[in-house]
Amino acid sequence: QKEVEQNSGPLSVPEGAIASLNCTYSDRGSQSFFWYRQYSGKSPELIMFIYSNGDKEDGRFTAQLNKASQYVSLLIRDSQPSDSATYLCAPQNAGNMLTFGGGTRLMVKP
Amino acid sequence: DVKVTQSSRYLVKRTGEKVFLECVQDMDHENMFWYRQDPGLGLRLIYFSYDVKMKEKGDIPEGYSVSREKKERFSLILESASTNQTSMYLCASSGPGMNSPLHFGNGTRLTVT
């Protein structure tokens, strides 16, 4: 079992819809969880992070964390074609090291 | 804004050559990392460093070495490049403690022929 699991996609949503990206992790010691966006041919850029159970909102993005279920998700409201990218989930362990999932490719169709 | 600069965007080298990939960050970060990214394999950690002259092996250190002589600079060295080291190489830095995100450079696409 991989340490960080993400559905590779592609996840296709129409413009204006909500995109839901999911991530499960195996290390129960993970404390913080980062979401990165990576456009094709570019390096990952930080979207947001979450460390408490529940929801955290930042503009059109909402991160959701459930440590008991070892599950973290990212919701993108009012999806735009410019949101088309690969989204990487990265739990941070007790040693402050990030482990990256394989990423989910999101396609937002106009 | 944190800036992480990788010296080359594209690099083509021959098998057996010694290759240096340079990375410089301007935020006085303690932690620096080298990853490689390949389709289907995701981001894999090669080496990291918590301080000057300190280095730790990541998940795939074989065939690589690193050097950190100054806090702002972290170099990745391929002692004898091989074709299976053709990849995208990403340098990153972070501050200390929890909730410190990684800040990535623009990447170096290395091709070994």
Q: Which of A34, A101, A102 sits opposite B101 (nearest CB)?
A: A34
Predicted pLDDT at A2: 67
Name, in order, each residue with C-beta under 8 angstroms of B39's C-beta and a sequence gap of 6 or more.
none
User: Please, is A103 exposed, middle or buried when counting C-beta atoms within 10 Å of its C-beta (0-12, 13-18, 19+)?
Assistant: buried
State mean pLDDT over A25-33: 92
What would you report as the CA-atom Rg of chain A, rounded to the nearest whole angstrom?
13
Minimum-distance CB partner of B98 among A43, A44, A92 = A92
Exposure letters A43-73 (e unless 16+ CB within 10 A, then b): bbebbbbbbeeeeeeeeebbbbbeeeebebb
Question: pLDDT tens across B74-107, in order?
Answer: 999 999 999 999 999 999 999 887 788 899 999 9
So what's the pLDDT on residue A1?
A: 59
Inter-chain CB pairs, A–B, below 8 Å: 44
CA-nearest residue to B99 within chain A is: A32
Per-residue CA distances from B86 to B14, B46, B81 (Å): 11, 14, 9
Please tell me whether residue B99 adopts helix, strand or coil conformation: coil
User: What would the pLDDT profile of A49-103 be if each residue is shown by its tens digit?
Assistant: 999 999 999 999 999 999 999 999 999 999 999 999 999 999 998 777 899 999 9
Cβ–Cβ gap A32/B40 under 8 Å: no
Q: pLDDT digit string (tens) for B54-78?
A: 999 999 999 999 999 999 999 999 9
CA distance A66 to A64: 7
